[in-house]
Chain A
Amino acid sequence: MSVRHSLWPEDIAVTDEVAPVVILKEQASLLGQRTNNLVEARVLPGQSHYSEYPFVYYFELVAPALDHYRYRLFEIAHGVEFYPVRIEFEEFATPRDAPGEDEFLLELAAIFSSDRTKRIVSSLIAQSKA
């Protein structure tokens, strides 16, 4: 059987969209710089709670000096399309859905600057220095 020419468009693999997980990983990589690597962060794939949001990622704080203690700060979930992305954080009474990248960045900023996050990070730094 002869090989037919490809029916796939040339631009099928071209995208300028940034996946939420890429944004998370960028932010995770920046935490260590702020804390002299006493507290770092990492992003891991997770388990989905919702059939409509099969892609789940956990954002975890890591304290290397405390035998690599980890605290799962929040998680995100989305479907095949990146948005809306669902965010579950312990300070949110219910999960929040960010309809686009801008809203997602605002929610991340709110999480990172929340009293709860700052308290955990400062506690881990203090214990790491002990």
Chain B
Amino acid sequence: MRTFLFWNLNGKRIEQLVANLAQLHDVDLVILTECAIPTAVMLDALNQDASPKFHLTEGECREIVIYTRFSSQFLQMAFETSRLTIRRMRLPDTDEILLAAVHHPSKLHWRDGSQNAECHGLSSSIRRIEDEEGHRRTVLVGDFNMNPFQEGVVAANGLNAVMARGVAARRKTRVVL
């Protein structure tokens, strides 16, 4: 099982905290947003005691940076916007998964309606990639800047989020209009 760490750093230079957390939890993928830490500095911190070493993965998404402890050939870019990255994670001897990481604008800049619409768009983008890849094994992480019960998060045509893994695992949904 792989361990993911997602953190919105809010522009703070806290590379040592990130590194300590990654080491403490034996993290395989460090996913950061609002990261102002230069790559070399972040790698120095992450790789103090890490084995195998972390390295930066390629990506055009401005808001998200991803460091992994495995080769970037196993985490290929599939689809990106300035705020979303969807990667194919194809590790040896495991089923492929899609890793989606997102950073939505804060409520200072977006109304609830725009955030909800963005969730619908995000859902469509993920579904489109899933259809192309032929599976629905997607891990979505991010800073949504939304209430967990906001319409775009819970709506069936949004992210269709539920409260617990057990509920999601039933794979049965009932839409109440």
Distance, CA A71 to CA B124, complexed state (A): 15
On whether the beta carbons of B62 and A90 are closer than 8 Å, the reply is yes
Tell me if B117 is interfacial: C-beta within 8 Å of chain A. Answer: yes
Q: Which of these, B77, B81, B113, B121, contacts A69 with CB under 8 Å?
A: B77
Tell me if B6 is interfacial: C-beta within 8 Å of chain A. Answer: no
Min CB distance A91 to B, Å, is 9
Min CB distance A45 to B, Å, is 10
Q: Which of these, A46, A47, A71, A127, contacts B80 with CB under 8 Å?
A: A71
**Which residues of A lie under 8 Å from residue B62 when comparing CB positions?**
90
On whether the beta carbons of B117 and A67 are closer than 8 Å, the reply is no
> In this complex, what residue of A is CB-closest to B120?
A47
Min CB distance B66 to A, Å, is 15
Tell me if A35 is interfacial: C-beta within 8 Å of chain B. Answer: no
Chain A positions 26-54 with a Cβ under 8 Å from a chain B Cβ? 46-49
Tell me if A114 is interfacial: C-beta within 8 Å of chain B. Answer: no
**Chain B interface size range:** 10 to 19
By secondary structure, the B interface counts as: mixed
Bitwise, B108-127 to A at CB < 8 A (1) or not (0) is: 00000110011011001000
> In this complex, what residue of B is CB-closest to A51?
B113
Tell me if A66 is interfacial: C-beta within 8 Å of chain B. Answer: yes
Min CB distance B53 to A, Å, is 22
On whether the beta carbons of A47 and B121 are closer than 8 Å, the reply is yes
Tell me if A105 is interfacial: C-beta within 8 Å of chain B. Answer: no
Distance, CA A9 to CA B101, complexed state (A): 52
Min CB distance B102 to A, Å, is 13
On whether the beta carbons of A123 and B60 are closer than 8 Å, the reply is yes
**Which residues of B lie under 8 Å from residue A66 when comparing CB positions?**
76-77
Min CB distance A9 to B, Å, is 37
Distance, CA A127 to CA B76, complexed state (A): 12
On whether the beta carbons of B78 and A69 are closer than 8 Å, the reply is yes
Interface residues of B (CB under 8 A from A): 58, 60, 62, 76-82, 88, 113-114, 117-118, 120-121, 124
Interface residues of A (CB under 8 A from B): 46-49, 66-67, 69-72, 90, 120, 123-124, 127
- A and B contact pairs by CB, cutoff 8 A, 8 listed: A46-B121, A49-B114, A69-B77, A71-B60, A71-B79, A71-B81, A72-B80, A120-B60
